[in-house]
């Protein structure tokens, strides 16, 4: 009898050891949940972190990302890669600080940056801007200069590309945030991407900024977690019209951009339902002046189309 119990104990020990070696499931942290170029006192600019063990992978890097990382008890030194959905400043404003701080801290290794076409030119410019600080260092004569260009590597992705990054398989799809004619010069130069992150433990899809898009629905099909942008079109058009009148502006591009290149609560729910996702997180909120009642309304509107769990994110929420 004693030998039986000993055998059971050995099996349990081996099982626990095997479980301990399994990589942890990815955690998604919404570092910044406010969309658009106008700052918000309650929400930081768009940024997210996928955390796997001690490693962090940033998904968009809006202004304030480094500070938001510290609030999430993460360091810029833990960031192993960055994914950029598109090149609008609300999604990239924190990248310069991330690169500069990593250089100042002498973080070892090369930071991988994945993004659409145009990302290489963006990073080249930011790296060049980092050189004076890096060259001056801490102000000692004849200290070796660590060239910031050697600390970063860019991979530009296009529709359908797949990359292996750490323990993740990452798939990119071109979405409908831009309306450049397919194959045109501008379409070749600038695209907006959505990403899917797959590990054996979990699958996550991130819309980035997009209008209604069958490509995004295909990308997100069956994922455990769907992270989607959302705008309140009526509220923001009212606010935008007020601003234009106050400034005597006549540009009509912004109303058209908001109407065609972003998604409303109805559209978020429809896309989540068609993709048959496990749960939905709503972020990149462009909802100027929204009240608690408005947020309840967003949730109810999405729920008219999608029956799964719905969470409207705040900064530093974890999923």
Contacts of 35 (CB under 8 A, 6+ apart): 46, 90, 209, 229, 231, 283, 284, 285, 286
Please give the share of the chain, as a percent, with pLDDT higher than 70. Answer: 89
Q: How confident is the model at residue 243 (pLDDT cuts 50, 70, 90)?
A: low
> 133-183 pLDDT, tens per residue?
999 988 988 888 888 999 999 999 999 999 999 999 999 999 999 999 999
Segment among 100-114, 134-148, 234-248, 292-306 with least mean pLDDT = 234-248
251, with CB counted inside 10 A (0-12, 13-18, 19+), is: exposed
Distance CA 62, CA 72 (A): 15
- pLDDT(124) > 80: yes
- pLDDT(63) > 80: yes
Q: What pLDDT, on the 0 to 100 scale, is given for residue 256?
A: 77
Q: What pLDDT, on the 0 to 100 scale, is given for residue 95?
A: 98
| pLDDT, mean over the chain | 90
Task: Count the residues in the chain.
Answer: 319
Question: Can you give the residue ranges of every domain in the chain?
Answer: 24-318
Distance CA 230, CA 145 (A): 44
Q: Per-residue pLDDT averaged across 13-27, rounded?
A: 60
CATH topology of domain 24-318: Metallo-beta-lactamase; Chain A (3.60.15)
Q: How confident is the model at residue 8 (pLDDT cuts 50, 70, 90)?
A: very low
Q: Per-residue pLDDT averaged across 210-214, rounded?
A: 97
Q: What pLDDT, on the 0 to 100 scale, is given for residue 234?
A: 86
Q: What pLDDT, on the 0 to 100 scale, is given for residue 250?
A: 53
- pLDDT(21) > 70: no
> 285-302 pLDDT, tens per residue?
999 989 999 999 999 999
Segment among 6-15, 128-137, 243-252, 286-295 with least mean pLDDT = 6-15
Q: What pLDDT, on the 0 to 100 scale, is given for residue 64?
A: 97
Q: What pLDDT, on the 0 to 100 scale, is given for residue 24?
A: 86
- pLDDT(187) > 70: yes
Q: Which of 177, 159, 172, 171 is nearest to 286 (CA)?
A: 177
Q: What pLDDT, on the 0 to 100 scale, is given for residue 247?
A: 55
Q: How confident is the model at residue 94 (pLDDT cuts 50, 70, 90)?
A: very high
Task: Give me the DSSP letters along the chain.
Answer: -HHHHHHHHHHHHHHHHHHHHSPPPPEEEEEE-B-SSS--SSSPPSEEEEEETTEEEEEEE-TTHHHHHHHTT--GGGEEEEE-S---HHHHTTHHHHHHHHHHTT--S-EEEEESTTHHHHHHHHHHHHHHHHHHTTS-TTPPP--GGGGEEEEE--TT-EEEETTEEEEEEE-SS--PPTTSHHHHH---EEEEEE-SS-EEEE--S-SS-HHHHHHHTT-SEEEEEEE-HHHHHHHHHHHHHHTT----HHHHHHHHHS--HHHHHHHHHHHT-SEEEEEEEE-TT--HHHHHHHHHHHHTT--S-EEE--TTEE-
């Amino acid at each position: 009898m004693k030998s039986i119990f000993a055998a059971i104990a050995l099996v349990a020990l081996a099982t626990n050891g095997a479980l301990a070696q399994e990589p942890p499931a990815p955690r998604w942290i919404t570092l910044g949940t406010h969309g658009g170029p106008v700052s918000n006192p309650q929400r930081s600019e768009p940024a997210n972190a996928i955390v796997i063990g001690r490693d962090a992978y940033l998904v968009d890097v809006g202004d304030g990302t480094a500070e938001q990382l510290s609030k999430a008890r993460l360091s810029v030194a833990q960031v192993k890669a960055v994914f950029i959905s598109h090149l609008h400043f609300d999604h990239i404003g924190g990248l310069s600080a991330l690169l500069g701080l990593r250089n100042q801290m002498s973080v070892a290794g090369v930071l991988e940056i994945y993004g659409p076409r145009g990302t290489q030119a963006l990073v080249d410019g930011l790296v060049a801007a980092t050189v004076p600080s890096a060259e001056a260092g801490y102000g000692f004569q004849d200290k070796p200069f660590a060239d910031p260009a050697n600390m970063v590597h860019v991979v530009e992705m296009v529709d359908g590309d797949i990359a292996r990054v750490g323990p993740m398989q990452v798939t990119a799809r071109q979405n409908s945030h831009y309306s450049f004619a397919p194959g045109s010069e501008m379409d070749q130069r600038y695209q907006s991407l959505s990403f899917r992150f797959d590990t054996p433990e979990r699958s996550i899809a991130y819309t980035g900024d997009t209008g209604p898009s069958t490509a995004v629905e295909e990308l997100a099909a069956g994922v455990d977690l769907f992270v989607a942008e959302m705008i309140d079109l009526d509220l923001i058009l009212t606010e935008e019209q007020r601003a234009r009148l106050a400034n005597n502006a006549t540009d009509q591009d912004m109303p058209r951009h908001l109407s065609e290149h972003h998604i409303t609560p109805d559209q978020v729910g429809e896309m989540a339902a068609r993709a048959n996702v496990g749960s939905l997180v709503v972020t990149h909120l462009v909802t100027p002046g929204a009240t608690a009642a408005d947020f309840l309304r967003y949730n109810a509107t999405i729920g008219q189309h999608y029956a799964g769990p719905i969470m409207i994110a705040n900064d530093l929420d974890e999923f």
